[in-house]
Chain A
Amino acid sequence: MIMIAYYAITAFLLFLVGWNFVREKERRQDLVLYLLVMIPLLLRLLRWK
């Protein structure tokens, strides 16, 4: 149950950061930061080992 909740939180955070990445138009450094933040979230969500 806790694990499902954590995966749901991960998916939600990934959606938020991804949405910001798509919406960002000007600041390149923010784009890089969004991508950096998305890497561990994506790896966890896809369960890449």
Chain B
Amino acid sequence: MKKDSLSKAALAVAFLGLAVWGGLPLYRHRHRGVPVVKGPGVTAVLRLSEFSPGLKGTAGDTFVFVLQGKAPGGKALLMGNTHANEPEGMLAALIFIENAVVEKGTLYVIPFFNNSASRNTRPGDGYPLYFDIATDWGACRFRYGNRDASPLDQWPDPDVYIHYPERQLLSYIDVRNTNRTWPGRPDGPLMERVTFGAMELMRRESVDLAIDIHGAETMFPVTNCIVAPEKSVKIATLASLTVKAMEGFENHVEPSPAGFRGLSHREIGDHGPSLPFLLEAPIPFLDQPTGPKTTKLLLDGKDPFLLSLSRKKKLFVPYDEDGWPLEKRVGQNLSVALEIFRQFSKKSAGRPIAVRGVPRYADAVKDGVGRFLADPAKAAPGGVIMN
């Protein structure tokens, strides 16, 4: 009897040890901070909970960087990491925060829109926990997150997610997907409170433009594009044509389907004053038929299986031995966002948005993304926000 109890206790302790050993890297990933240097244009740093009090003290709360220009003008909201496994959005947002100087108008930038998802991972798909960007001052390490918020922060999932307010039935997992929970509500599930916060920001501050930056598989038809509803489509088309003519890269326009609810490019425009745009850059890492999900694949986008599929014309974007590197993805997000500002300013003379200091596509491709990330060690006291 005693021997039996002892062996059971030993077994239980061994299992507990295994659980701790396996859980520690995930714990460290979840609690690791990413430094965000307040650039020359940052005038205030807010929390999203100021617009959605239900987020206070939760992992859904996130930083909102305000870049207010000296001259009045239009207002734009930039969101990265709506899906935290599509880092080109977060990096483009960081480059705006750390480099942009707004001359006219105001920018609101949320680099970690789904903060909980950026602290989640997908071990079943072999996702790396981190990726490093080479910079002039050394490697800058970022958390690599997941598409959906962590179940540690929002649980349990329903059998079917009933979208609010349209009551459309969506997949259960979409209750944790901040690109299905728009427009949100103040007392809904955590991710609805996140999107509600952004909606409130746009409504209270009369934001003109909302740009939600994503990445999409090369085998997915809605990739390498700007998704826009009817009210944004003119500006999106002009931006698309201009970047193709002036900067030499494709970024076509896709219409936002009116019958598919919960997406930013649909609900932001239907429930608030802003013109929504969703940017999709091709990210080979997310495709299913690739080799191992390594940080190399995430950064350079080179994969022999995708190359073979490209030769069979199975991809929706041009793909060759050069892959689809991060620099291209981030660069096109930067250029398209700047072009949307410019086209909006031309059409709305009373509300211009003028930004300088942000690199464009050619700069990012030539110099790399790391060239435009600021060194936290050289920041002024209080100039670094840990997210």
Say whether A and B bind each other. yes
Contact A49 B15 (CB under 8 A): no
B196 nearest CB across to chain A (Å): 19
Inter-chain contacts of B27 with A (CB < 8 A): 49
Complex: how many Å from CA A2 to CA B218?
39
Distance between Cα atoms of A15 and B45 in the complex (Å): 47
Let me know if B19 and A39 touch, CB within 8 A. Answer: yes
Q: Is A31 an interface residue (CB 8 A)?
A: yes
**Selected contact of A49 from candidates B12, B19, B30, B158, CB within 8 Å:** B30
A18-49 residues at the B interface, CB under 8 angstroms:
21-22, 25, 31-32, 35-36, 39, 43-44, 47-49
Cβ of A31 to closest chain B Cβ, rounded Å: 6
- Contact partner, B152, options A6, A35, A49, Cβ 8 Å: A49
| B148-165 contact mask (Cβ, 8 Å, vs A): 1 or 0 | 000010011010000000
Contact among B11, B152, B158 with A32 in the assembled complex (CB-CB below 8 Å): B11
Q: Chain A 1-21, CB within 8 Å of chain B: the 1/0 string? A: 011001000000000000001
Distance between B187 CB and nearest chain A CB, rounded to angstroms? 13
Give CA–CA (A25, B156) in the complex, Å: 35
Contact A35 B11 (CB under 8 A): yes
B8 at the interface (CB under 8 A from A): yes
How many residues does chain B have at the interface if contact means C-beta atoms less than 8 Å apart? 13
Chain A nearest Cβ from B95, distance in angstroms: 31
CA distance in complex: A35, B155 (Å): 23
Taken together as a complex, chains A and B put the C-alpha atoms of A6 and B158 apart, in Å, by 11
Closest to B154 in A: A3
Q: Is the CB–CB distance between A25 and B15 below 8 Å?
A: no
B321 at interface (Cβ–Cβ under 8 A)? no
Chain B residues positioned under 8 Å from A47 (CB to CB): 152
Contact with A along B1-31 (1 / 0, CB 8 A): 0001000100110010001000100010010
CA distance A43 to B158 in the complex (A): 20
Nearest B residue (CB) for A40: B19
Q: Which residues of A contact B158 (CB under 8 A)?
A: 2
**B residues 293-326 in Cβ contact with A at 8 Å:** none
Given A25-B4, A31-B8, A49-B30, A39 contacting B15 (CB threshold 8 A): yes
Contacts A31-B11, A32-B11, A49-B30; A6 near B19 (Cβ below 8 A) = no
Closest B residue, CB atoms, query A2: B156
Given A31-B8, A31-B11, 19 other A-B contacts at CB below 8 A? Answer: A2-B156, A2-B158, A3-B155, A3-B156, A6-B155, A6-B156, A21-B8, A21-B12, A32-B11, A35-B12, A35-B15, A36-B15, A39-B15, A39-B19, A44-B155, A47-B152, A49-B27, A49-B30, A49-B152
5 closest A-B pairs by CB: A35-B15, A6-B156, A49-B152, A39-B19, A31-B11
**Can you give 26 contacting A-B residue pairs, CB < 8 Å?**
A2-B156, A2-B158, A3-B155, A3-B156, A6-B155, A6-B156, A21-B8, A21-B12, A22-B8, A25-B4, A31-B8, A31-B11, A32-B11, A35-B11, A35-B15, A36-B15, A39-B15, A39-B19, A43-B19, A43-B23, A44-B155, A47-B152, A48-B23, A49-B27, A49-B30, A49-B152
